Structure 1
């Protein structure tokens, strides 16, 4: 007889450990345990069967992997936590005796300092691993950089987060690694590609932040402590990889005046004539020389044959860049597949705004616009002096400005107060031109969305579509590509709507505007037909109901009977079309024309004048709608015949697919209907 195993000593019960047992084994407090787990990257786990793990108990319990807790037994940070606890007891004892000086001395000299350098190297063996985990770090640090100073969030932490974030933004500007950005309700999303890794982070808007009392800032502060160390290592590696000195020089006076990015001066290494500083208007020559040297080293390392081929390809590429534009793949048919379009090269994106000089009005967000414009090649960005230090120019009337970004409506001159003629200055310069009273000739005035849409599409868009007070085009996420059948606000309705959908909408609007009373009673059959038509447009396959085919536990006989009943009901529904308001609905078009011609001949023989019935808009719409409905019915019948040839299981799977497709089509149809109403209201308002 074998040995009987004791319950809870093997299997899942041994692989998991509760948080209470883990804290007792490590002999530390619960806050220190949480802090240690955050530093080491150990998180709670959810077992598959909680009863087996907790020995039959169903209480809410937090579990960890036993192997992860054993991994923490020999962690050097445990000794630091224990030393900190011992010094805290001594400080408390000194304060209890009233020895404030001794307590201050103990806190200053005996509190152990925790360094996370070894943990960073342990969690990220390679630099690419650190870049992959940089999304959450940047989002957290940018959040704390915009928080106000409170007892829970000290000012030193905020200043450190701001410095690290601005240093990272400077690298993105110098390397031109920013690819996309999106304005959302939560904030501004940015995506940069650094060494082949896509990094996405969120920057909140600069509104007044109010911290709620239910936020545990101790846990968030632990994450910030780890992320600041991580970003410091990453910034050092990024700066040294492009030949820059880290940390960059920091001008405290410029930072106090709101310089932000302008408060840092980047310096290049290895320049014989001295260090070159990066300011608003120039770039370090060391970076260009280092990049050229790196490319030369790559070419020199290649074999002779590959070197000649590479050189020839580089020469051909340089010649073709200025003469040929990017090819685009246009679909040959309306229902054809959409091919991925070629995108602009990184060199073209890096110089997208290079030829221009921008001026930011006071109402525009200076920080994100300055960052994006400089990241895409703009060397000269000016703004009003009240927005901070570091502008290329603070004179709004500067003739070098080519684009001015404004975010206020253009007012009529009659609504503006009268302003006396401004006298000329002593130097003979013209007075400043103030928007919206006057505009500088030759300058392009645009709204901020133009900048974001240009970088997302990789080209310069028409500025007249983004003029002040103009109705802006939809600002869509660059990471969501509309698939076939979904609503796309960038495409006109005529290219998206189904056949007969516009006519059905017009009939619906006409019937809604009809008078009450007898007209409502007379139009009742038409309304029923209209609802049926709209339902046929929204739900192409009327045999699929919501949730149908989702029950997998039903028996085969029940499912077969239910399918036969559905087919019978559908056949009856196809035969019964309801009452028709027109007696000629069951007659072909040729028969209708023949009868109309016969009535005209009889009236002419009797000497009675016959008024020719001109086709109205409603009749035309009904004709187009019925033709589209007939075509859809034929397609549905053909689809049903094809479904009958499938096995039962595949038929169920197809019904689930059709259910999702119908749901997507219904949402798209609702959005198109909403857009059609908005366009109709705007056109009527313009007509008035």
Structure 2
């Protein structure tokens, strides 16, 4: 016996169901969701008919377009479509202006450069074609293999595409709070305040506790008592000495740690510095690109 999940509606014509025994399993529900996403992705270009101009790399584009549900024709022998076929929805060209023979009498075709196909596939979204028109300067190519959150920097064009995806999925309302929080974080990054991960500090504390065999304990708030000025100065000096001594003790413990731990700790520090430098370079490059427009 099977039971359908009401909160995960199946696409039309698709019998996505779970066995009753697995209906409440989070892992099974996640697997079902991924299966549906994969099905949706393979139909990204469904209902669209592409015609490849002579100068574009036919083999690669034909493979990608067909893999995601599109129909393809090309300039040359054995093409299933002629340039005048009224079914053509997109013409892919790689020159400033398309040839006259590729124009539609009705003017209902979109002309795009090859990068449009790859950007659509990488983001699982049909991106508006106006920025990819023949002769236009293309937007920056966004690699699908870069984790922007881990890098601490999200390109402006990626933010635009993410907004398009939220709009297309109808989740702008439910994601309003998250969007506001994301905007605040991006604003802070724009002001040069890059959030630093806590991995390095946490790792250092773990090393210290491991070496001395102690656990971190919360400090109890000390009751404040009225004191005279001289006593206050004396207490401040004592606190300074205590803080200095604690810092020296921390350094001593770190030096006493195993060499392996020291090496890993230093590597983490170096990686963080490299990441910060890379983020600054990307932001500087983006600013120069804006001024150059």
TM-score normalised per structure 1: 0.25
- Equivalent-residue separation in structure 2 for 1:402 and 1:641 (angstroms): 74
> Where does residue 464 of structure 1 map in the other structure?
130
Structure of larger gyration radius = 1
Deviations along 1:452-503, one digit per CA (max 9) or x if unpaired, are: 12222222222223222233232233233234344333348993764644xx
- Is the contact made by 2:91 and 2:102 (CA closer than 8 Å) also made in structure 1? no
Q: Which of 94, 103, 125 is the equivalent residue of 1:407?
A: 94
In structure 2, how many angstroms separate the alpha carbons of the residues matched to 1:467 and 1:482? 27
CA 1:433 to 1:485, structure 2 compared with 1: closer, same or farther past 3 Å?
closer
Match of 1:488 in 2: 154
Deviations 1:232-291 (A, max 9, x none): xxxxxxxxxxxxxxxxxxxxxxxxxxxxxxxxxxxxxxxxxxxxxxxxxxxxxxxxxxxx
Say if 2:45 and 2:68, in contact at 8 Å, map to a contact too.
yes
Contact 2:50–2:89 (CA<8 Å) still a contact in 1?
yes
Give yes or no for the alignment of 1:321 onto 2:11.
Answer: yes
Decide whether the 8 Å contact of 2:94 with 2:113 is kept in 1.
Answer: yes
Distance 2:37 2:159 in 1: 26
**Hey, what's the Cα distance between the residues in 1 that align with 2:189 and 2:68?**
41
SS at match of 1:345: helix
Look up the SS of the partner of 2:137 in the other structure. Answer: coil
Counterpart pick for 1:444 among 93, 96, 110? 110
Residue number among 65, 69, 73 corresponding to 1:373 in the alignment: 65
2:274 corresponds to which residue?
A: 663
Structure 1 gap ranges (5+): 1-307, 323-341, 412-431, 502-536, 541-639, 683-688
Is residue 383–residue 391 contact of structure 1 (8 Å, CA) maintained in 2? yes
Q: Secondary structure at 1:472's aligned position in 2?
A: coil
Distance 2:85 2:286 in 1: 42
Change (3 A) 1:441 1:664: same
Following superposition of structure 1 onto structure 2, how do residues 515-664 of structure 1 map, counting pairs within 5 Å?
646=250, 647-649=253-255, 654=265, 656-664=267-275
The whole-number CA distance in structure 1 between the counterparts of 2:245 and 2:79 is: 71
Q: Name the CA shift for 1:313/1:664 in 2 (closer, same or farther; >3 Å).
A: same
Instruction: Note the alpha carbon deviations across 1:322-356, whole angstroms, 9 max, x for none.
Output: 5xxxxxxxxxxxxxxxxxxx766222122222201
Give 1:579's aligned residue.
none
SS of 2:127's partner is coil
Aligned residue for 2:148, secondary structure, equals coil
Given that 1:487 and 1:496 are in contact with CA atoms closer than 8 Å, whether structure 2 keeps it comes out as: no
CA deviation profile, 1:96-129 (whole Å, cap 9, x unmatched): xxxxxxxxxxxxxxxxxxxxxxxxxxxxxxxxxx
What is the distance in 1 between the residues matched to 2:246 and 2:269?
Answer: 14
- The residue aligned with 1:50 is none
Q: Which residue of 2 aligns with 1:205?
A: none
> CA, structure 1 residues 663+497, in 2 after alignment: closer, same or farther (shift >3 Å)?
farther
**Is the 8 Å Cα contact of residues 358 and 402 (structure 1) preserved in structure 2?**
yes
CA distance in 2, matches of 1:496, 1:376: 36
| Pair 1:657–1:434, CA change in 2 (3 A) | same
Alignment of 1:19-98 (within 5 A): none
Change (3 A) 1:672 1:439: farther
Please name the residue that 2:121 is paired with.
455
User: Kindly tell me: are residues 495 and 384 of structure 1, through their superposed partners in 2, closer, same or farther at Cα, counting changes over 3 Å?
Assistant: same
Distance 1:668 1:355, change over 3 A: same
Q: Secondary structure of the equivalent of 1:321?
A: coil
Where does residue 434 of structure 1 map in the other structure?
Answer: 101
In structure 1, distance between residues paired with 2:265 and 2:286: 31
Change (3 A) 1:390 1:500: same
- State the aligned residue count: 196
Q: CA deviation at 1:402?
A: 0.9
Q: Which residue of 2 aligns with 1:251?
A: none
Distance 1:659 1:408, change over 3 A: same
RMSD, aligned CA: 4.2
Distance 1:642 1:464 in 2: 61
Q: Supply the distance in 1 between the matched residues of 2:151 and 2:118 (Cα, whole angstroms).
A: 26
* Cα offsets for 1:190-220 (capped at 9, x unmatched): xxxxxxxxxxxxxxxxxxxxxxxxxxxxxxx
CA separation in 1, counterparts of 2:108 and 2:145?
A: 35
Separation in 1, partners of 2:100, 2:186: 44
Once the 2 structures are TM-superposed, how far is the Cα of residue 446 of structure 1 from its aligned partner? 1.3
Superposition map of 1:108-507 within 5 A: 308-309=1-2, 312-313=3-4, 319-321=9-11, 345-378=37-70, 380-385=71-76, 389-394=77-82, 396-410=83-97, 433-434=100-101, 440-489=106-155, 490-491=158-159, 495=186, 498=189, 500-501=191-192
What is the distance in 1 between the residues matched to 2:118 and 2:91?
15
Give the 3 Å change call, closer, same or farther, for CA 657–401 of structure 1 in structure 2: same
Q: Do the aligned partners of residues 347 and 500 (structure 1) sit closer, same or farther apart at CA in structure 2, a change above 3 Å counting? A: closer
CA contact (8 A) 2:84 2:102 kept: no
- Contact 1:433–1:440, Cα closer than 8 Å, also in 2: no
Distance 1:500 1:366 in 2: 45
Q: Which has the higher contact order (CA 8 A, sep 6+)?
A: 2
C-alpha distance in 2 between matches for 1:642 and 1:654: 20
Equivalent in the alignment of 1:674: 285
